[in-house]
Amino acid sequence: MQSDLWKKFLKNRMAVAGSLLVFGLFFTAVFAPLLAPYEPTEIHLDRILAPPSAAHWFGTDQLGRDIFSRMIWGSRISLMVGFVSTGIAILIGTVLGALSGYYGRWLDPLVMRSVDIMLCFPTLFLILAVIAFLEPSIWNIMIIIGLTGWMGVTRLVRADFITLKERDFVLAAKAIGAGDLRVIFVHILPNAMASLLVAATFGVAGAILTESALSFLGIGVQPPMASWGNILTDGKDNIDIAWWLSLFPGLAILFTVLGYNLLGEGIRDTLDPRLKE
């Protein structure tokens, strides 16, 4: 069965391309100290806004810092934000969705109305409102993105639980005396993991894009820490004389988000039995 799923995944060229892009980001983030030719905060006042060259592949910024090195180190920020914030959202959404779908009664309307209220607010503006009262930092950004991204996961898990709780294997588990928590987390939740995996993949892409937008606005990752978003901010200020400051981080964000989206689509197509080859 697993070999059949793997073969089906490998036949999806877009999914394989997404996997390669995601693996490339992960490899770059893990081995950043070895891949970066310069320190991300290393200043060269004699090379300010130098164009791409053999010494600086992606050029330098207004302080003479190597853009290639800063982008490599910035990949660590993107990876950390994506995984931590998505992990928070998946945890909250899974717990609320599981309890809502399994128990129903008064809990289900309460949870779903909470989801509806949260969805009434545009996510980015909600994040901006919260950050206005907090100190901008990487940890605050990850927590806020996670706390504002659980609604879709809740709906997805709830729908799976409503369907799965009536299956024979759940009724058999209850018949032999399994408690509610055991039924929820041991018997039902593993059968909903396919949907969660797809949601997590798309969530990482969204979190990376949100962090880049916040850093671009100056309320995300703060200098001198390297982030693709704050490199883009430098590019905005020097767009007429230093095109490389906008081009390369923009392409990095584009291909990273594209990679996670393609991977998520590939996983969904592979695991969903309703989709024919």
Q: What structural domains and CATH numbers belong to the chain? A: 2-31+77-271 (1.10.3720.10)
235: tokens are 């590019």
Q: Which helix (H) or strand (E) holds 230?
A: helix 228-237
- CA–CA separation, 96 and 158 (whole Å): 8
Nearest to 154 by CA among 206, 191, 119: 119
pLDDT in tens, the chain (277 residues): 556 767 777 787 888 888 899 999 889 988 988 888 888 888 888 888 888 888 889 988 888 899 999 999 988 888 888 899 999 999 999 999 999 988 888 888 999 999 988 888 777 777 777 777 777 778 888 888 898 889 989 999 998 888 888 888 888 888 888 778 888 888 888 888 888 888 888 888 888 888 888 888 777 777 778 888 888 888 887 888 888 888 888 899 889 989 988 888 888 877 765 544 4
Query: Which residue shows structure tokens 């607010």?
Result: 121
